[in-house]
Each structure stands twice: as C-alpha cells, then as structure tokens.
Amino acid sequence: MRGLARGLFASVVLLSASACGVGCRAAKAEDTGDTLIVGAYSAPREAFEEAVIPAFRAAWRRQTGRDIVVRASYLGSGAQARAIAQGFEADVAVLALDSDVDKLVKAALVAPDWRARTGGAGLMARSLVVIAVRSGNPKGIADWADLGRPGVEVLTPNPRTSGGAMWNLLAVYGSAAGDVKAKSAAVARVLDNVIVMDKAARESLVSFERGIGDAAITYEQEVHVARRAGRHYDYVVPPATAVIDVPMATVDRYADAHGRRAVAEAFVAFLRSRQGQALLGGFGFRPATGPIDLPGDARFPAAGHPFTAADFGGWKKIAPGLFAPDTGAITRVLDATREDREALR
C-alpha cells in the first residue's frame, strides 16, 4: 500500500514534469553517444537554449573532436529537485535554492562536498531580487515599503510552490530593520497588497506583463530575459535586497551510472569559465564570484546594501526558520488574514 501511494505521487510529479517524460526516454535511446542530461529550474532556459548549450557543444567538439547532445528539462526548482530525486536521471542539476541541491544530497545522488568541487561555493551565477514596475515607474516605487502603500497592487509567486518566491520574501524580510517581529510586519505590509500568487516565478511575471498589478517582485535576470524578447518595462533595485545564489552540481550517482562524469564536469566547468559567465551575463545573470556590483556595465544598476542567504545562516536555517509549515516566521504571516496582520503590528 505504501509503495502504491508513493507510486501515485511519483506519477503525479512525473505528469507535471512532462518535459522530462520526453527527455528521459530520448536520452535512453542514445546512451551510446556523448549525451548530457541537465535538470534545471526555469529561469536559465533562454540562456541555456540560446547561448550556453550551443557554445558548450562547440567547445566540446574542439576539445574532443566528438559531437554531444545536451538535453535540458526546465521546471520549478522544487519540482525539478523532486523529479531528479524520484528518478529523472539528470547528470547536472541547476536549481534555485541550495536546499534543493541538498535534497539530492539527502537522496544520495549528489556527493556532500558538491560546493567545494564546483568551486566558488557551488554557484553557477547570481542575481538580485528586484521590483518590476510599469514603464516610467508611475507609482514612484523605490523601496520595499512602497509596495505596502495603499493602492499599490503587487505580484509575487506562491512560496509553497516556487523557490523564487522564497527569495522574494526573504528580500523583503531581510531588508527590514529590527527583530523578527518588525521584519515579519514588513512582509505583512507587502503581502496585504499582493493580489495574485501564481504557481511559479515566470508565471507571475507573465501575469505582470499581461497588465495585472503595479509591481512584481522578481529576479533581475527575469526582466533582462523579457527585454531580450522585446517586452520592455522598468525595474527598481531596492536599497537593500537579497543576492540570489544559483547553485549547480553534478548529479554524481546518475553521471557515474551513465559513464558521463567527464562530460558533466566539463559542462559545470564551462558554466564557470570566462566564456560561460559572459554568456550568462548576456541574459542578465550577475557573475558567480567577485563583487555583485559591476560599475563598468550599464546593464546592471548598483545594489546599495545587498545581503546574502548566508547572512541569515544559509537556506539550511532559512527554510525551517522562515518557511516551515505552521512555525516559520513568514509562513505565519502568509497564514494570517489582513485583520490578523493588523494585530501583528
């Protein structure tokens, strides 16, 4: 019965991961040639498909004289981590949260020392949590507090279904001065004005592009991708905001089982190479290492007082402390109604 129940959930997950369903089968048919399976979260889709993967294939051909097929599946970070843990045999994982990679460590798929092996704390790139606003910023939004003003309608995805949403709310929470109560109150003020919580970060921004709301909390990188596709609006970097770390790792057990460790490690190294970082930069990602501000690059506005997940003890502490069911500080605010939130203040 228990196996049955698990099977049911697995099939639900797999159904939702339809992209994988196709990718997995195709991959098995070609196990003999050079193939690489990448399981990624949804934000780097354009960067990977349009720039990184073609460049990597060219580099691989130069180095080895062999062709390589790279198949990538893109899902919400949590869903992708679960898909990989439940048998989507990706060789490389690129996810939105450290803690999602740690799920793969717990499933004995990724070796515990993945951060050290990838170099630079296991990051592929970084981005900032920003506020997308209508062109010309008609509501005059400059900081998180402005999202709590009466009459401002805000979009942010649901943190229960989107890793990006957790970064968004961490940015609001972490930028507020004071103790847990004051920080929670800052989140509460913004949440009072949230009119839609879409399932995923990308969906939320699509709703914004459709004309819904005055502001959307999103990744800086997502706005750059929209601009490349010809959808133009402004964004504001609040004076204090969160630096988003994008972790990546080789999925050691699958890569070894497929005999693709060398390719997997080459892909990870390529992402961290000067060329890989430049390609990612073209799609709005900030570099994995070094200062987050790039004064010489007009595409990236300066961040005043950026903070990282590490400043709050890393996702190992943030996930249970802020987002655990019932007890997490942000979960409590989410579960409260407007009236309850009044009382919180």
Residue 209 to residues 44, 46, 150, 226, 286, Cα–Cα distance (Å): 19, 18, 22, 9, 23
Q: For residue 337, state whether it binds another protein (rule: CB under 8 A).
A: yes
Contact segment (CB under 8 A) with another protein among 7-15, 175-183, 240-248, 281-289 equals: 7-15
Of 37, 72, 79, 110, the one binding another protein by CB under 8 A? 79
Nearer to another protein, 211 or 295 (CB): 211
Whether 96 and 79 have beta carbons less than 8 Å apart is answered as: no
Q: For residue 196, state whether it binds another protein (rule: CB under 8 A).
A: yes
Contact segment (CB under 8 A) with another protein among 6-14, 173-181, 248-256, 257-265 equals: 6-14
Strand pairing class (240-250; 92-94): antiparallel
Q: For residue 179, state whether it binds another protein (rule: CB under 8 A).
A: no
> Quick check: helix, strand or coil at residue 321?
helix
Of 4, 29, 177, 343, the one binding another protein by CB under 8 A? 4
Query: 114: which residues sit within 8 A by CB, 6+ positions away?
Result: 101, 105, 122, 249, 250
Of 82, 189, 202, 224, the one binding another protein by CB under 8 A? 82
Interface residues for another protein in 136-175 (CB under 8 A)? 158, 160-161
Strand partners, 307: 242
Q: For residue 1, state whether it binds another protein (rule: CB under 8 A).
A: yes
Spatial CA neighbour of 36 closest among 274, 285, 248, 268: 268
Residue 192 to residues 147, 187, 195, Cα–Cα distance (Å): 9, 9, 8
Question: Could you say which DSSP state residue 288 is in?
Answer: S
Number of residues that bind another protein (CB under 8 A): 33
The distance of closest approach from Cβ of residue 78 to another protein in the complex, given in angstroms and rounded to an integer, is 6
Q: For residue 294, state whether it binds another protein (rule: CB under 8 A).
A: no
Nearer to another protein, 158 or 277 (CB): 158
The distance of closest approach from Cβ of residue 308 to another protein in the complex, given in angstroms and rounded to an integer, is 23
Of 62, 210, 274, 305, the one binding another protein by CB under 8 A? 210
Of 23, 39, 44, 76, the one binding another protein by CB under 8 A? 76
Residue 141 to residues 66, 132, 138, 191, Cα–Cα distance (Å): 52, 9, 8, 16
Of 198, 220, 222, 245, the one binding another protein by CB under 8 A? 198
Helix (H) or strand (E) holding 104: helix 98-106
Interface residues for another protein in 302-331 (CB under 8 A)? 325-326
The distance of closest approach from Cβ of residue 256 to another protein in the complex, given in angstroms and rounded to an integer, is 27
Q: For residue 2, state whether it binds another protein (rule: CB under 8 A).
A: yes
What values do phi and psi take at 229, rounded to 5?
-85, 5
Torsion, Cα 43 47 52 54, to 10 degrees, reads: 120
Spatial CA neighbour of 216 closest among 156, 162, 142: 156
The distance of closest approach from Cβ of residue 62 to another protein in the complex, given in angstroms and rounded to an integer, is 41
Contact segment (CB under 8 A) with another protein among 78-86, 87-95, 120-128, 274-282 equals: 78-86
Strand pairing class (154-155; 194-196): parallel
Contact segment (CB under 8 A) with another protein among 4-12, 43-51, 139-147, 178-186 equals: 4-12
Residue type, 290: G
Q: What residue ranges bind another protein (CB under 8 A)?
A: 1-2, 4-9, 12-13, 76, 78-79, 82, 158, 160-161, 194-199, 207, 210-212, 325-326, 334-337
